[in-house]
């Protein structure tokens, strides 16, 4: 494996900062997220231009889906930080209430955040960082190499706004990511595809490092007989957002056959999508044209259940269009997905209090709001029990006390 002295230097610098407790005080954890929000506000035009160059993203989408979310995440974190960081006293049975019991949130340590996805390049790199900073964790951000313009700007701006001894950007591709994963971290967050996610999880396991994987998936839209919607407006318009590069974008529509006729980037990603379309047994009814790394919005019908276009278990999100409560309940019980959204698409991203995370092959670990803070925290327990009652030599009164508890009536079913 190649050596990268600049990465070794960053790793040593951040580890020293954490060991010295520099990031622990709440005052520090308030100031640094504010600096991150200022980075976005002061350099919004540069970030717009980078997002346009990387993703051909309209300015409206850049503001609403990326940059505003980062500023709002800072505001939410700063408002709640004292509450989130306060030790808690768990509820215990009456006989243990004399014990001095509490749980104390403490930062996990030095975090590594890797993105190998083109989607929402600023959010993926910076939104979880708000939680990491609020939790007191130094962090390395490794943006996706396919969003090179955003990566360049972040690498330039980080040392101008954030503490360079605690937060750093590492640019590069597979060799740099591989080297980063060979080092010891206290937590790893990865956003990208399942294949690379397995590599990250394997590398983390070698050091028994906890990690979270946000892997996406082919999100289905299920339309029931009673659904009263315009799929062209509600579904296909969402599919076009972010140039189609969105982990929760609708992928395929499951619709009663008698209704279907009425409702119907990076070179490697480009080729993969064209191969999926070429190998599909579905019948194309719209789009399919492509040039210069772009593909038209393409719709196929009569797609078999085992077609490569839809064969992807455990989606990150499933969309259900129906007004039938019984069908909604059935979906909640039987559909395995990270989120279930009813009668709309993608709008769940506008509710930061909701969890973002997958199940199975769409990943594990969740974040969003306080859950992002919690993701970067450990919660050790502190207890000062009364030992006299269970210390040797044992007393008959103590034995009688515990025997009475053991024989107490069981709760009725």
**Same domain, residue pair 84 and 38:** yes
Q: Which residues pair with 286 in a beta bridge?
A: 299
Which range marks the domain in which residue 298 is found? 219-352
Q: How many domains does the chain contain in total?
A: 2
Q: What distance in Å separates the CA atoms of residue 244 and residue 120, rounded to the nearest whole number?
A: 11
pLDDT for res 45: 94
**Same domain, residue pair 265 and 190:** no
And the tokens for 267?
Answer: 């070179």
pLDDT for res 130: 94
Phi first, then psi: what are they for 290, rounded to 5°?
-155, 150
**Same domain, residue pair 37 and 171:** yes
Mean pLDDT of all residues in 174-184: 96
**Same domain, residue pair 50 and 194:** yes
- Could you write out the DSSP letters of every residue in 192-215? S-HHHHHHHHHHHHHTT--EEEE-
Least confident among 103-117, 201-215, 262-276: 262-276
Cα 191–chain centre separation: 7
And the tokens for 337?
Answer: 């997905």
103 inside domain: yes
Q: What distance in Å separates the CA atoms of residue 53 and residue 55, rounded to the nearest whole number?
A: 6
pLDDT digits (tens, 9 = 90+) for 129-147: 999 999 999 999 999 888 8
Confidence label for 282 from pLDDT (cuts 50, 70 and 90): confident
The enclosing domain of 106 has a CATH number of: 3.40.605.10
Q: What distance in Å separates the CA atoms of residue 354 and residue 77, rounded to the nearest whole number?
A: 15
**Same domain, residue pair 54 and 174:** yes
**Same domain, residue pair 130 and 144:** yes
Query: Is-cis flag, bond preceding 393, omega within 30?
Result: yes
| Residue pair 114/200 in contact by the 8 Å Cβ criterion | yes
Q: What distance in Å separates the CA atoms of residue 146 and residue 267, rounded to the nearest whole number?
A: 10
Highest mean pLDDT among 155-159, 250-254, 300-304, 348-352: 155-159
389 inside domain: no
265 inside domain: yes
Confidence label for 194 from pLDDT (cuts 50, 70 and 90): confident
pLDDT: is 177 or 360 the higher one? 177
**Same domain, residue pair 371 and 265:** no
Least confident among 37-51, 83-97, 254-268, 296-310: 254-268
Least confident among 70-79, 285-294, 335-344: 285-294
**Same domain, residue pair 223 and 265:** yes
**Same domain, residue pair 181 and 49:** yes
pLDDT: is 296 or 206 the higher one? 206
End-to-end Cα distance, the chain: 60
pLDDT for res 361: 81
Confidence label for 316 from pLDDT (cuts 50, 70 and 90): confident
| Residue pair 69/242 in contact by the 8 Å Cβ criterion | no
| Residue pair 115/125 in contact by the 8 Å Cβ criterion | yes
Q: How many residues does the chain have?
A: 413
229 inside domain: yes
Closest by Cα among 315, 366, 321 to 345: 321
Q: Is the pLDDT of residue 359 over 60?
A: yes
Q: What distance in Å separates the CA atoms of residue 64 and residue 286, rounded to the nearest whole number?
A: 29
392 inside domain: no
Q: What is the pTM assigned to this prediction?
A: 0.80
92 inside domain: yes
360 inside domain: no
Average pLDDT over all residues of the chain? 83
Phi first, then psi: what are they for 308, rounded to 5°?
-60, -20
**Same domain, residue pair 59 and 187:** yes
pLDDT for res 84: 92
The C-alpha angle 57, 59, 63, rounded to 5 degrees, equals 105
| Residue that the structure tokens 């597979």 belong to | 174
Mean pLDDT of all residues in 58-73: 88
**Same domain, residue pair 67 and 186:** yes
**Same domain, residue pair 186 and 97:** yes
pLDDT: is 106 or 239 the higher one? 106
Least confident among 92-96, 157-161, 228-232, 360-364: 228-232
Q: Is the pLDDT of residue 98 over 90?
A: no
60 inside domain: yes
The enclosing domain of 239 has a CATH number of: 3.40.309.10
Q: What distance in Å separates the CA atoms of residue 248 and residue 232, rounded to the nearest whole number?
A: 17
Dihedral sign computed on CA atoms, order 88, 94, 100, 106? negative
pLDDT for res 170: 97
Q: Which helix (H) or strand (E) holds 175?
A: helix 174-182
Closest by Cα among 250, 260, 205 to 345: 250
């Amino acid at each position: 494996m190649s050596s990268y002295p600049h990465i070794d230097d960053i790793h040593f610098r951040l580890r020293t900062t954490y060991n010295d407790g520099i990031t622990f005080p709440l005052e520090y954890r308030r100031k640094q997220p504010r600096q991150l929000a200022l980075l976005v506000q002061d350099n919004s035009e540069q970030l717009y231009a980078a997002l346009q160059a990387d993703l051909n993203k309209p300015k409206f989408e850049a503001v609403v889906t990326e940059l505003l979310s980062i500023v709002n995440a800072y505001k939410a974190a700063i408002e709640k930080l004292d509450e989130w960081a306060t030790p808690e006293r768990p509820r215990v049975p009456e006989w243990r209430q004399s014990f001095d019991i509490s749980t104390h949130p403490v930062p996990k340590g030095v975090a590594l955040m890797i993105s190998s996805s083109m989607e929402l390049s600023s959010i993926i790199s910076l939104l979880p960082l708000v939680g990491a900073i609020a939790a007191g964790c130094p962090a390395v951000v490794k943006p996706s190499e396919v969003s090179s313009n955003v990566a360049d700007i972040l690498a330039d701006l980080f040392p101008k706004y954030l503490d360079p001894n605690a937060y750093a950007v590492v640019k590069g591709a597979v060799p740099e990511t591989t080297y980063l994963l060979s080092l010891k971290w206290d937590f790893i967050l990865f956003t990208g595809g399942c294949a690379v996610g397995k590599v990250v999880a394997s590398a983390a396991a070698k050091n028994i490092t906890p990690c979270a994987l946000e892997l996406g998936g082919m999100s289905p839209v299920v339309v029931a007989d009673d659904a009263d919607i315009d799929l062209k407006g509600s579904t296909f318009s969402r599919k076009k957002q972010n140039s189609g590069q969105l982990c929760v974008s609708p992928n395929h529509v499951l619709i009663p056959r008698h209704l279907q006729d009425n409702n119907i980037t990076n070179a490697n990603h480009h080729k993969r999508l064209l191969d999926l379309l070429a190998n599909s047994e579905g019948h194309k009814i719209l789009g399919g044209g492509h040039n210069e790394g772009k593909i038209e919005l393409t719709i196929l019908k009569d797609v078999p259940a085992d077609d490569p276009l839809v064969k992807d278990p455990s989606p990150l999100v499933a969309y259900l269009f129906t007004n039938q409560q019984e069908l909604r309940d059935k979906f909640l019980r039987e559909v395995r997905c990270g989120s279930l959204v009813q009668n709309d698409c993608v709008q769940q991203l506008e509710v930061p209090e909701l969890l973002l995370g997958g199940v199975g092959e769409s990943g594990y670990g969740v974040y969003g709001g306080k859950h992002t803070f919690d993701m970067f925290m450990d919660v050790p327990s502190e207890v000062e029990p009364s030992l006299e009652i269970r210390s040797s030599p044992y007393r008959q009164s103590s034995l009688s006390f515990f025997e009475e508890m053991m024989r107490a009536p069981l709760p009725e079913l």
